[in-house]
Protein backbone atom coordinates (compact mmCIF):
# COMPACT_ATOMS: atom_id res chain seq x y z
CA UNK A 1 0.00 0.00 0.00
CA UNK A 2 2.57 2.55 1.05
CA UNK A 3 4.81 1.59 -1.88
CA UNK A 4 1.89 2.18 -4.14
CA UNK A 5 1.57 5.70 -2.82
CA UNK A 6 5.17 6.71 -2.34
CA UNK A 7 6.70 5.36 -5.50
CA UNK A 8 4.79 7.54 -8.01
CA UNK A 9 5.36 10.57 -5.84
CA UNK A 10 9.08 9.91 -5.62
CA UNK A 11 9.15 9.72 -9.38
CA UNK A 12 7.19 12.98 -9.53
CA UNK A 13 9.71 14.65 -7.22
CA UNK A 14 12.61 13.43 -9.29
CA UNK A 15 11.13 14.67 -12.56
CA UNK A 16 9.73 17.99 -11.40
CA UNK A 17 12.04 19.01 -8.57
CA UNK A 18 15.36 17.20 -8.74
CA UNK A 19 15.93 17.21 -12.50
CA UNK A 20 15.02 20.90 -12.99
CA UNK A 21 17.51 21.86 -10.29
CA UNK A 22 20.16 19.68 -11.91
CA UNK A 23 19.41 21.29 -15.28
CA UNK A 24 19.75 24.79 -13.86
CA UNK A 25 23.05 23.78 -12.27
CA UNK A 26 24.12 22.22 -15.57
CA UNK A 27 23.49 25.46 -17.45
CA UNK A 28 25.25 27.45 -14.75
CA UNK A 29 28.33 25.26 -15.07
CA UNK A 30 28.60 25.15 -18.84
CA UNK A 31 29.13 27.44 -21.78
CA UNK A 32 28.15 26.83 -25.37
CA UNK A 33 30.44 28.01 -28.12
CA UNK A 34 30.03 26.96 -31.75
CA UNK A 35 27.57 24.27 -30.74
CA UNK A 36 30.08 22.75 -28.33
CA UNK A 37 29.14 22.61 -24.67
CA UNK A 38 31.91 22.49 -22.12
CA UNK A 39 32.08 22.69 -18.34
CA UNK A 40 33.47 25.86 -16.84
CA UNK A 41 33.32 28.19 -13.89
CA UNK A 42 33.36 31.22 -16.18
CA UNK A 43 29.71 32.02 -15.53
CA UNK A 44 30.33 32.22 -11.82
CA UNK A 45 33.35 34.37 -12.48
CA UNK A 46 31.08 36.60 -14.55
CA UNK A 47 28.78 36.97 -11.57
CA UNK A 48 31.42 37.54 -8.91
CA UNK A 49 33.84 39.70 -10.84
CA UNK A 50 31.77 41.57 -13.36
CA UNK A 51 33.01 41.70 -16.91
CA UNK A 52 34.93 44.93 -17.17
CA UNK A 53 38.39 44.51 -15.74
CA UNK A 54 40.30 47.65 -14.87
CA UNK A 55 37.25 49.78 -14.07
CA UNK A 56 36.94 49.82 -10.32
CA UNK A 57 33.45 51.29 -10.38
CA UNK A 58 32.09 48.22 -12.13
CA UNK A 59 33.90 45.57 -10.25
CA UNK A 60 31.70 43.16 -8.38
CA UNK A 61 28.81 44.72 -10.19
CA UNK A 62 26.48 41.77 -9.78
CA UNK A 63 27.59 41.17 -6.22
CA UNK A 64 26.25 44.66 -5.59
CA UNK A 65 22.99 43.62 -7.21
CA UNK A 66 22.85 40.65 -4.86
CA UNK A 67 23.62 42.79 -1.82
CA UNK A 68 20.96 45.33 -2.72
CA UNK A 69 18.43 42.49 -3.12
CA UNK A 70 19.34 40.94 0.21
CA UNK A 71 19.27 44.33 1.89
CA UNK A 72 15.80 45.22 0.60
CA UNK A 73 14.50 41.73 1.33
CA UNK A 74 15.84 41.89 4.90
CA UNK A 75 14.23 45.23 5.57
CA UNK A 76 10.91 44.14 4.12
CA UNK A 77 11.08 40.96 6.19
CA UNK A 78 11.73 43.00 9.32
CA UNK A 79 8.80 45.30 8.58
CA UNK A 80 6.56 42.34 7.85
CA UNK A 81 7.56 40.81 11.16
CA UNK A 82 6.98 44.00 13.13
CA UNK A 83 3.58 44.52 11.51
CA UNK A 84 2.62 40.88 11.20
CA UNK A 85 3.38 39.50 14.64
CA UNK A 86 0.99 41.79 16.54
CA UNK A 87 -1.57 41.18 13.84
CA UNK A 88 -1.30 37.41 14.18
CA UNK A 89 -1.30 37.77 17.95
CA UNK A 90 -4.47 39.83 17.95
CA UNK A 91 -6.16 37.49 15.51
CA UNK A 92 -5.23 34.50 17.65
CA UNK A 93 -6.22 36.09 20.93
CA UNK A 94 -9.53 35.53 22.61
CA UNK A 95 -12.17 38.18 22.25
CA UNK A 96 -12.93 38.10 18.56
CA UNK A 97 -15.90 35.97 17.75
CA UNK A 98 -15.29 35.78 14.05
CA UNK A 99 -11.61 34.93 14.16
CA UNK A 100 -11.59 32.65 11.14
CA UNK A 101 -13.54 35.18 9.14
CA UNK A 102 -11.11 37.94 10.04
CA UNK A 103 -8.20 35.76 9.06
CA UNK A 104 -9.92 35.11 5.78
CA UNK A 105 -10.24 38.83 5.23
CA UNK A 106 -6.46 39.00 5.20
CA UNK A 107 -6.12 36.18 2.68
CA UNK A 108 -8.94 37.30 0.40
CA UNK A 109 -6.91 40.06 -1.35
CA UNK A 110 -4.69 37.31 -2.72
CA UNK A 111 -7.55 36.22 -4.92
CA UNK A 112 -7.29 39.46 -6.77
CA UNK A 113 -4.43 39.38 -9.15
CA UNK A 114 -1.16 40.45 -7.55
CA UNK A 115 -0.22 42.61 -10.52
CA UNK A 116 -3.48 44.53 -10.40
CA UNK A 117 -3.17 45.10 -6.67
CA UNK A 118 0.41 46.27 -7.02
CA UNK A 119 -0.46 48.47 -9.96
CA UNK A 120 -3.24 50.12 -7.94
CA UNK A 121 -0.57 51.48 -5.62
CA UNK A 122 0.59 53.74 -8.45
CA UNK A 123 -2.64 55.69 -8.18
CA UNK A 124 -2.06 56.13 -4.46
CA UNK A 125 1.64 56.87 -4.44
CA UNK A 126 2.33 58.96 -7.50
CA UNK A 127 3.16 62.63 -7.38
CA UNK A 128 -0.39 63.70 -8.15
CA UNK A 129 -1.81 60.60 -6.49
CA UNK A 130 -4.29 60.12 -3.68
CA UNK A 131 -1.75 60.17 -0.87
CA UNK A 132 -0.23 63.46 -1.95
CA UNK A 133 -3.67 64.94 -2.51
CA UNK A 134 -4.51 64.06 1.08
CA UNK A 135 -1.27 65.64 2.29
CA UNK A 136 -2.04 68.73 0.31
CA UNK A 137 -5.54 69.00 1.76
CA UNK A 138 -4.05 68.69 5.21
CA UNK A 139 -1.66 71.50 4.39
CA UNK A 140 1.40 69.25 4.52
CA UNK A 141 4.25 69.20 2.01
CA UNK A 142 4.00 66.58 -0.70
CA UNK A 143 6.47 63.74 -0.97
CA UNK A 144 7.74 61.60 -3.79
CA UNK A 145 7.25 57.95 -2.94
CA UNK A 146 6.69 56.34 -6.30
CA UNK A 147 9.88 55.18 -8.03
CA UNK A 148 11.89 55.17 -4.80
CA UNK A 149 13.03 52.30 -2.60
CA UNK A 150 10.25 53.20 -0.17
CA UNK A 151 7.72 52.28 -2.83
CA UNK A 152 9.54 49.02 -3.54
CA UNK A 153 9.55 48.14 0.17
CA UNK A 154 5.92 49.04 0.47
CA UNK A 155 5.09 46.80 -2.47
CA UNK A 156 7.01 43.92 -0.92
CA UNK A 157 5.40 44.35 2.51
CA UNK A 158 1.98 44.66 0.99
CA UNK A 159 2.35 41.53 -1.10
CA UNK A 160 4.15 39.33 1.39
CA UNK A 161 2.57 40.29 4.72
CA UNK A 162 0.00 37.44 4.65
CA UNK A 163 2.88 34.97 4.36
CA UNK A 164 4.21 36.28 7.67
CA UNK A 165 0.87 36.44 9.44
CA UNK A 166 -0.42 32.97 8.54
CA UNK A 167 2.33 30.78 9.98
CA UNK A 168 2.64 32.89 13.13
CA UNK A 169 -1.09 32.78 13.61
CA UNK A 170 -1.08 29.01 13.17
CA UNK A 171 1.64 28.47 15.72
CA UNK A 172 -0.09 30.78 18.20
CA UNK A 173 -3.44 29.06 17.83
CA UNK A 174 -1.90 25.62 18.16
CA UNK A 175 -0.11 26.60 21.34
CA UNK A 176 -1.11 24.65 24.44
CA UNK A 177 -2.98 27.27 26.46
CA UNK A 178 -2.29 25.32 29.67
CA UNK A 179 1.37 26.26 29.46
CA UNK A 180 0.45 29.92 29.53
CA UNK A 181 -1.94 29.39 32.42
CA UNK A 182 0.73 27.52 34.31
CA UNK A 183 3.15 30.40 33.84
CA UNK A 184 0.53 32.83 35.06
CA UNK A 185 -0.20 30.63 38.07
CA UNK A 186 3.48 30.64 38.90
CA UNK A 187 3.29 34.42 39.13
CA UNK A 188 4.82 35.50 35.84
CA UNK A 189 3.73 38.96 34.75
CA UNK A 190 2.23 39.44 31.25
CA UNK A 191 5.53 40.64 29.81
CA UNK A 192 7.34 37.60 31.12
CA UNK A 193 4.62 35.27 29.94
CA UNK A 194 5.05 36.67 26.49
CA UNK A 195 8.84 36.81 26.30
CA UNK A 196 9.53 33.58 28.10
CA UNK A 197 6.63 31.40 27.01
CA UNK A 198 4.49 32.63 24.15
CA UNK A 199 7.16 34.04 21.88
CA UNK A 200 9.56 31.09 22.12
CA UNK A 201 6.69 28.72 21.43
CA UNK A 202 5.65 30.69 18.39
CA UNK A 203 9.19 30.69 17.01
CA UNK A 204 8.56 27.93 14.44
CA UNK A 205 5.84 30.10 12.94
CA UNK A 206 8.10 33.14 12.95
CA UNK A 207 10.88 31.19 11.28
CA UNK A 208 8.71 29.90 8.49
CA UNK A 209 7.19 33.35 8.11
CA UNK A 210 10.63 34.86 7.70
CA UNK A 211 11.65 32.40 4.99
CA UNK A 212 8.35 32.85 3.18
CA UNK A 213 8.81 36.63 3.08
CA UNK A 214 12.56 36.89 2.59
CA UNK A 215 12.94 34.70 -0.48
CA UNK A 216 10.25 36.23 -2.71
CA UNK A 217 11.53 39.65 -1.67
CA UNK A 218 15.06 38.82 -2.75
CA UNK A 219 13.83 37.45 -6.07
CA UNK A 220 11.23 39.96 -7.19
CA UNK A 221 11.54 41.90 -10.40
CA UNK A 222 7.95 42.94 -10.93
CA UNK A 223 7.76 45.11 -7.83
CA UNK A 224 11.09 46.78 -8.49
CA UNK A 225 10.06 47.54 -12.06
CA UNK A 226 6.49 48.60 -11.40
CA UNK A 227 6.92 50.62 -8.22
CA UNK A 228 10.66 51.22 -8.35
CA UNK A 229 10.81 52.35 -11.98
CA UNK A 230 13.87 50.14 -12.51
CA UNK A 231 15.81 52.55 -10.28
CA UNK A 232 17.09 49.53 -8.41
CA UNK A 233 18.31 46.51 -10.19
CA UNK A 234 17.69 43.33 -8.21
CA UNK A 235 18.57 39.67 -8.64
CA UNK A 236 15.14 39.04 -10.14
CA UNK A 237 15.76 41.77 -12.71
CA UNK A 238 19.10 40.20 -13.55
CA UNK A 239 17.49 36.78 -14.12
CA UNK A 240 14.77 38.28 -16.26
CA UNK A 241 17.31 40.26 -18.23
CA UNK A 242 19.67 37.34 -18.83
CA UNK A 243 16.93 34.87 -19.77
CA UNK A 244 14.45 37.00 -21.63
CA UNK A 245 16.45 39.90 -23.05
CA UNK A 246 20.07 38.86 -23.45
CA UNK A 247 18.97 35.27 -24.01
CA UNK A 248 21.91 33.78 -22.13
CA UNK A 249 20.65 30.81 -20.14
CA UNK A 250 24.08 30.08 -18.73
CA UNK A 251 24.55 33.38 -16.95
CA UNK A 252 20.86 33.49 -16.09
CA UNK A 253 21.15 30.09 -14.44
CA UNK A 254 24.07 31.29 -12.36
CA UNK A 255 21.84 33.94 -10.85
CA UNK A 256 19.20 31.27 -10.20
CA UNK A 257 21.83 29.13 -8.49
CA UNK A 258 22.88 32.13 -6.38
CA UNK A 259 19.25 32.55 -5.32
CA UNK A 260 19.04 28.88 -4.40
CA UNK A 261 22.23 29.15 -2.37
CA UNK A 262 20.75 32.19 -0.65
CA UNK A 263 17.68 30.12 0.11
CA UNK A 264 19.73 27.26 1.59
CA UNK A 265 21.77 29.70 3.68
CA UNK A 266 18.73 31.47 5.05
CA UNK A 267 17.08 28.16 5.84
CA UNK A 268 20.21 26.93 7.59
CA UNK A 269 20.53 30.09 9.68
CA UNK A 270 16.91 29.89 10.69
CA UNK A 271 17.26 26.21 11.50
CA UNK A 272 19.96 27.15 13.98
CA UNK A 273 17.62 29.65 15.56
CA UNK A 274 14.89 27.18 16.02
CA UNK A 275 16.28 23.80 16.81
CA UNK A 276 14.10 20.85 17.54
CA UNK A 277 11.32 21.64 15.19
CA UNK A 278 12.48 19.20 12.57
CA UNK A 279 9.65 16.92 13.38
CA UNK A 280 7.09 19.72 13.33
CA UNK A 281 6.68 19.45 9.62
CA UNK A 282 3.11 20.50 9.73
CA UNK A 283 3.80 23.73 11.54
CA UNK A 284 5.19 25.15 8.38
CA UNK A 285 2.88 26.76 5.86
Partner 1 sequence: MKKLIVLLALCAVMLGVAGCGDSRERIYVANWGLFIYEPVLQMFEEEYGIRVVYSTYSTNDELYALITHQGAEFDVVVPSDYTVERMINEGRLAPINWDNVPNAQYIGDQFKNLAFDPTNRYSIPYKWGTFGIVYNTEKVDEPVTSWSILWDERFEGEIFMYNASRDTIGLAQRLLGFSMNSRDINELHQARDLLIQQRPLVRAFLADEIIDNMINGEGSLGTVYNGCARWIIYYNPAHNFVVPAEGSQLWFNSMVIPRTSRNEEHQANAEKFINFMARPDIALLNTLYTRYSTSNIGAFEMLPADWQNCPIYWPNDEIMRRGEVFVDLGDFRAEFHQAWTQVLVAGN
Partner 2 sequence: MMHLKRFYLGLMLFFMYAPILVLMVFSFNDSRSRNTWGGFSLRWYVELFNDPHTQLALRNTILIAIFSTILATIIGTTAAVGIDKLKKRSRMVIMGFTRMPVMMPDIVTGLALMILFLFGFRIVGFGRLGFGTLLIAHVVFNVPYVILSVIPRLRQLDPNLYEAALDLGSSPIRAFVQVILPELWPGVITGAMLAFTLSVDDFMVSFFTTSPGVQNLSIRIFAMTRRGVDPRINALSTLIFVAIMLMLFIINRRDQRLIKKQQSEV
Site for partner 1 in 145-184 (CB under 8 A): 146-147
Q: Which residues in 198-227 contact partner 2 (CB under 8 A)? A: 211-212, 215-216, 218-222, 226
Q: Rounded to the nearest 5 degrees, what angle is found at the Cα of 197, between the Cα atoms of 193 and 202?
A: 125
CA dist., res. 30 & res. 39, Å (int): 4
Contact positions with partner 1 (CB under 8 A) in 21-40: none
Which of the listed partners (partner 2, partner 1, none) does 16 bind, with a CB threshold of 5 to 8 Å by partner kind? partner 2
- 30 strand-pairing partners: 39
Within residues 106-135, the interface with partner 2 by CB under 8 A covers: 106-124, 126, 128-130
Judged by phi (left if over 0) then psi (alpha if -120 to 50, else beta), residue 267 lies in alpha
Question: According to CB under 8 A, which one of 150, 243, 267, 284 is a site residue for partner 1?
Answer: 243
Distance CA 89, CA 149 (A): 29
Tell me the closest approach of the beta carbon of residue 136 to partner 1, in angstroms: 14
Q: Rank residues 126 and 274 by Cβ distance to partner 1 and give the closer one.
A: 126
SS in 3 state form for 139-173? CCCCCCCCCCHHHHHHHHHHHHHHHHHHHHHHHHH
| Residue 229 makes contact with partner 1 by CB under 8 A | yes
- 33 strand-pairing partners: 36
Site for partner 1 contains 196 (CB under 8 A): no
Q: Which residues bind partner 1 (CB under 8 A)?
A: 51-52, 57-58, 61-62, 64-65, 67-68, 126-128, 144, 146-147, 228-233, 237-238, 241, 243-247, 249
Amino acid sequence: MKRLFVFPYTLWLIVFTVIPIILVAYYALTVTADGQTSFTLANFRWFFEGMTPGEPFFQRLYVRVAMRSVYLALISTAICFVLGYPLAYILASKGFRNKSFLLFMFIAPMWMNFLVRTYAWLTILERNGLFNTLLQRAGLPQIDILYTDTAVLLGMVYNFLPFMVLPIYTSLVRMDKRVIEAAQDLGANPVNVFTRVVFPLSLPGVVSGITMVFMPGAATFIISNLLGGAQYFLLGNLIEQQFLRVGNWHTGSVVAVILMILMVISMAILKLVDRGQAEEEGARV
